[in-house]
């Protein structure tokens, strides 16, 4: 009977406490957001933190509250972004705004000198503690794979021959973990559709960079001069590209003597004029910064091979008869003389001129040189005596 009473008491207490908990949950219930729950369902659940929030739950909360864009999840990509846009009732995010990690360095073992053979722990953080790494350029990729081990999506590998990090843009989800892990700051998240980008971070004098690496930026400013749209400024001996002003003409990359600026040559554009619609107003010809359009007034105009694909003519054409197409041939850089600057190389600054010697200084120098020559002659004579045989010494004594 005691056991039965104990079971009844415990059962009754369970019912009472269960009822209290149910009542409490009803009274203090937090209203749920159906949109937030729906967003959480479509998120991939990677909890990588690439969105900048604590996991997918935090990302869903931020999107539902309007604190984060619908494309905040880098792992889900365009597919997840479209689903979230449908849930939120807004337009899908622009797919061209996608970012990927990129290596801002070309200093592989063929381009960048090696200071010493590193045989320590095969980790970039450890290697950077030894004389700032074994590459001559202190800004160069060390190629020891810290980023590879950090990436949870297998989007980075080390080129075994060149010993430099390589990003697989198809696998990269722009979570930013590799950027945070790199001790040299070589990796950066950049828009996938960027037409040109600087591939060097060596903020040093040109001759120092050229001594260390053949592919580094030497700060010659040819890119800034070649840009007709004011999209490039120089900062710490490096070009800074204003993405808002850049029109994708790629003249900065074409004029770079060391190849420190990358350009998407496969998608470089060229203007094409519909001669049936052109009225020969000359607006396109006046807008062209590269003198790449010919034609007489009131006659159909034509585009020459010097076109850089900047699109200024198409933007201003009153008849809208100019279209921008991906070019099928290389731009003729000689079609317009002066369009592309001649290549330059970095040189060391000239040493300061030495002061002219006075007659007194010249006399002292000549006297010192004469005394030095006499001492050297005496030393040579003593050395010859020491090397003489006994017969030679006897003959020399007789001769004296």
d(CA 220, CA 106): 18
What pLDDT, in 10s, does the model give residues 92-126? 766 556 789 999 999 999 999 999 999 999 999 99
Contact in structure between 283 and 318 (CB atoms under 8 Å): yes
d(CA 53, CA 43): 13
Q: What is the pLDDT of residue 331?
A: 83
Tokens of 314: 């198409």
**CB proximity list for 96: less than 8 A, separation 6 or greater:** 191, 192, 193
Q: What is the pLDDT of residue 339?
A: 47
d(CA 155, CA 276): 49
What pLDDT, in 10s, does the model give residues 82-91? 888 888 888 7
What does the H/E/C string look like for 148-217? Answer: HHHCCCCCEEECCCCCCEEECCCCCCCCCHHHHHCCCCCEEEEECCCCEEECCCCCCCHHHHHHHECCCC
Q: Which residues of the chain have pLDDT under 70?
A: 1, 28-31, 93-97, 333-357, 383-400
* CATH numbers and ranges of domains, the chain: 32-97 (1.10.15), 99-193 (3.30.70.20), 204-267+337-349 (3.30.70.20), 269-326 (3.30.70.20)
Q: Is 258 helix (H, G, I), strand (E, B) or coil?
A: coil
């Amino acid at each position: 009977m005691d056991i039965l009473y104990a079971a009844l008491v415990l059962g009754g207490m369970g019912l009472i406490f269960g009822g209290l908990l149910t009542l409490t949950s009803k009274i203090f219930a937090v209203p749920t957001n159906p949109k937030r729950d729906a967003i959480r369902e479509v998120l991939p659940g990677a909890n990588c933190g690439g969105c900048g929030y604590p996991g997918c739950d935090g990302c869903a909360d931020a999107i539902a509250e309007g604190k984060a864009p619908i494309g905040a999840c880098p792992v889900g990509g365009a597919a997840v972004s479209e689903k979230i846009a449908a849930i939120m009732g807004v337009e899908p995010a622009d797919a061209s705004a996608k970012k990927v990690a990129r290596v801002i360095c070309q200093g592989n073992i063929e381009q960048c000198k090696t200071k010493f053979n590193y045989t320590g722990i095969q980790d970039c953080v450890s290697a950077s503690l030894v004389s700032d790494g074994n590459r001559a350029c202190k800004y160069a990729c060390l190629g020891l794979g810290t980023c590879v081990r950090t990436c949870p999506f297998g989007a980075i590998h080390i080129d075994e021959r060149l010993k430099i990090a390589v990003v697989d843009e198809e696998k990269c989800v722009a979570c930013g973990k590799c950027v945070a892990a790199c001790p040299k700051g070589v990796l950066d998240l950049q828009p996938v559709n960027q037409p040109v980008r600087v591939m060097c971070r060596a903020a040093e004098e040109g001759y120092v960079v050229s001594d260390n690496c053949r592919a580094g930026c030497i700060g010659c400013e040819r890119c800034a001069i070649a840009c007709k749209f004011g999209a490039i400024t120089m900062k710490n001996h490096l070009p800074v590209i204003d993405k808002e002003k850049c029109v994708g003409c790629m003249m900065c990359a074409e004029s770079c003597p060391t190849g420190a600026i990358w350009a998407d040559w496969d998608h470089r554009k060229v203007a094409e004029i519909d001669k049936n619609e052109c009225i020969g107003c000359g607006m396109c010809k006046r807008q062209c910064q590269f003198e790449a359009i010919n034609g007489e007034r009131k006659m159909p105009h034509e585009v020459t091979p010097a076109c850089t694909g900047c699109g200024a003519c198409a933007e201003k054409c009153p008849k809208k008869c100019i279209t921008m197409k991906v070019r099928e041939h290389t731009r003729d850089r000689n079609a317009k003389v002066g369009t592309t600057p001649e290549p330059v190389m970095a040189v060391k600054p000239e040493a300061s001129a030495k002061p002219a010697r006075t007659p007194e200084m010249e006399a002292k120098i000549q006297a010192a040189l004469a005394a030095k020559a006499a001492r050297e002659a005496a030393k040579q004579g003593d050395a010859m005596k020491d090397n003489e045989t006994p017969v030679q010494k006897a003959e020399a004594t007789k001769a004296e």
